Amino acid sequence: MGQVLFVVWRESFEALLVIGIIYAWIKRHPDARNGMKFLWGGVALGVIISIVLALLIYGVFNVLDDTGQSLFMIFMEILACILIVQMVYWMNKHGSSMKSEIETGISRNAEHHNWWGATIIIAIAIAREGSEIVVFLSSFIMSLNAENASEFFLEAGGGILIAALTLYAFLLTNRFVSWRIFFKVTGIILLFLALSLLLKGVEEIANLLIEYDYSIPEFLIYPAWDSTAFLDDSNIAGNFISSFFAYRSQPIWLSVITFVVYWIVVITLFTRSKRNA
């Protein structure tokens, strides 16, 4: 389940970074004591919203029949892919101004002694990161049972703990480590994770169409090549690369086409954004 640890770590790091920015600003405010109450209130509210969303997804999944569950999982996988790309795109475009944007929003409310407004900003920021985690991990959440629940929650808790330690390490070494490089590297890995989710969804759509006797071009489900002898995606190393970097040792042509189209769209999107900037 290494994907769970990585996604929770990356998104929790971002959430803790937001909390740290707001905490540092409130500490300098004359009404800091009062502001801190609303800060932690906003954090709690954001966490509650994320938990409610996770329970809602789990509840909806369990009331559906087998076909409904398959379609719901495909929908969540594709939605998660879109959200990951959108989030990486947003961080790439606004990451450098994130601190000033957050402080401006909090400052505007604090000037009018409207700490409730600041609470809403904080709750939305936390709920955004939390809801992204929930959607990204929806396929894991929907398959939770007595056997794998402990492993899932252990990885999720480990991701949060490592995120806190990572932020602390960054604060200690911010003169030597580039935040820009950190977000770029983890952003690229997230884009590959998004592709893994998209491929999984597309392959499940093909399986459903075959199961219900819908005709699709046969070449789309033929293996494009076989690299099992070089790296089998069923062994430990191959499975790891498959989970994080969308590797397939026997990819069908539909997966290959999806892979190429995905990267054309993503590269075009980010290139255009960089040119506009």
**Tokens 């995905």 — which residue?**
262
177 CB-contact burial (10 Å; exposed 0-12 / middle 13-18 / buried 19+): exposed
70 is a domain residue: yes
The number of domains in the chain is: 1
What is the average pLDDT across 248-269? 94
Task: Answer whether residue 28 is part of any domain.
Answer: yes
13-52 residue pLDDT tens: 888 887 877 777 777 666 667 677 777 888 888 889 988 9
| Nearest one of 155, 161, 162 to 136, comparing CA atoms | 155
Of 98-112, 121-135, 245-259, the poorest mean pLDDT is in 98-112
What is the secondary structure of 189-208 as a DSSP string?
Answer: HHHHHHHHHHHHHHHHHHHH
Spatial contact of 200 and 229, defined as CB atoms under 8 Å apart: no
Range of the domain at 107: 2-197
Does 73 reside within a domain?
A: yes
Task: Say what the pLDDT of residue 185 is.
Answer: 84
Which pLDDT band holds residue 94 (cuts at 50, 70, 90)?
low
Read off the tokens for 50. Answer: 């994320």
Percent of the chain at pLDDT above 90?
Answer: 19
Let me know if residue 132 belongs to a domain.
Answer: yes
Answer yes or no: is 225 within a domain.
no
Is 230 domain-assigned?
no
| Per-residue model confidence (pLDDT) at position 31 | 63
> Are the C-beta atoms of 17 and 167 separated by less than 8 Å?
yes
pLDDT band, residue 203 (cuts 50/70/90) = very high
pLDDT at residue 75 greater than cutoff 80: yes
pTM: 0.78
36 belongs to a structural domain:
yes
Look at the block and give the residue holding tokens 């030597």.
Answer: 176
In a domain, 26, yes or no: yes
Task: Tell me the pLDDT band of 139, cut-offs 50, 70 and 90.
Answer: confident
Rounded to the nearest integer, the mean pLDDT of the chain is: 82
